[in-house]
Amino acid sequence: MSVFSHPDFDQHENVHFCFDPETGLKAIIAIHNTNLGPALGGCRMYPYANDEQALRDVLRLSRGMTYKSAVAELPLGGGKSVIIGDPRQHKTEHLLRAMGRFIDQVGGRYIAAEDSGTSVPDLRTMALETKHVSGIADRQGIDGKPAQGDPSPATAYGVFVGLKAAVKQQLGSDSLSGLKVAIQGLGNVGYRLARHLHEAGAELWVCDLYAEQEQRAAEEFNATIVKGSDIFSLPVDLFAPCAMGAVINADTLPMLKARIIAGAANNQLWDETFDARLQERGILYAPDFVLNAGGIIDIHYERSGYDAAKSRAHVERIADNLSAIFERSSNEQKPPGDVALRIAEERFVLKTP
């Protein structure tokens, strides 16, 4: 299939296919839009089933970054990169350095950061070959604790404060005490979100690819472990997708009993039609590219002279952004995702004279 006729191609400015025979690196760098600034987005490593799956993911993720930065009012465009491979088996220093060289060839139009399957040390290894990486500086995090560039704490905190806005909108309460939450995915962000929710008094049900993460959450947060697709059909108040995208689809939508969808994963909906389908079922969807912007906000402040207080205040505006989107959605009788997309486009689409 041609990239230009791919259903997820959306006027992307550049798509780079990267292959290094020495290390076996296979990767794709996608730059969606740079109208507001350089395209900043994570470098993901994942054992995709095939090249088509990887291409679909990087096209969707890079587009989402454009909208994420625009709604968050950041001077950044949207880009993303994916490395095809199992991060627990195939990641090597030489492979990461090869990826750094490919990022460098793009000349600063794309800036890489941490993502699923990559870590701050991985990005520091790439930085041996390119200056176009971010989220790797030692500093104080938004939580006041020492941070090594990891955007996960800011992402999780942003999801938490935004989630509370969704709960207030849908359930009419500021309190999360006793809230029943199902979390799919306990990676760097999902686990931190679970901690925030546990400390706020929520009851948790969790699932993850790795049993040790599930057991850890059970021990630390008194979470109930759920296996596989059972996570979708739980009679909970809120479902938080925090793993891969496209989890709200034709198979899972009929299973949902939660009244709110609010999580950290990118591209949670199979396609944009599911925004309206959720609304028809009375389920409030917090648009993921609005909710999970905390990490890129924090990285922006690292790049521009880090100030933890300013970064935290900007992350907390995620709740205000969502409240405004929910209000406009109600007034216009349009799905919240559609409203959020139009707000972003009003900011990043260049108007012709």
Does residue 91 have a pLDDT over 50? yes
Does residue 352 have a pLDDT over 50? no
Measured CA to CA, the distance from residue 65 to residue 22 in angstroms comes to 31
User: Hey, what are 219's tokens?
Assistant: 């021990």
**91 has catalytic annotation:** no
Per annotation, catalytic residue among 26, 68, 80, 164: 80
Q: What is the pLDDT of residue 350?
A: 66
Mean pLDDT, rounded, for 80-102 = 97
Does residue 148 have a pLDDT over 80? no
- Domain annotation for the chain: domains and CATH numbers: 14-136 (3.40.50.10860), 152-347 (3.40.50.720)
Q: What is the pLDDT of residue 353?
A: 39
> What is the band of 274 on the pLDDT scale with cuts at 50, 70, 90?
very high
Residue pair 329/336 in contact (Cβ under 8 Å)? The answer is yes
Q: What is the pLDDT of residue 349?
A: 87
Partnered with residue 294 across adjacent β-strands are: none
Pairing of strands 139-140, 146-147: antiparallel
Report pLDDT digits (tens) over 110-129.
999 999 899 999 999 999 99
Give the mean pLDDT of the chain. 94
Q: What is the pLDDT of residue 307?
A: 85
Does residue 17 have a pLDDT over 90? yes
* CA-to-CA dists, residue 154 to 36, 180, 274, angstroms: 22, 23, 28
Residue 201, helix vs strand vs coil: coil
Does residue 33 have a pLDDT over 70? yes
Mean pLDDT, rounded, for 150-162 = 93
User: Hey, what are 111's tokens?
Assistant: 């800036």
Model-level pTM? 0.89
User: Hey, what are 240's tokens?
Assistant: 């938080």
Q: What is the pLDDT of residue 293?
A: 96
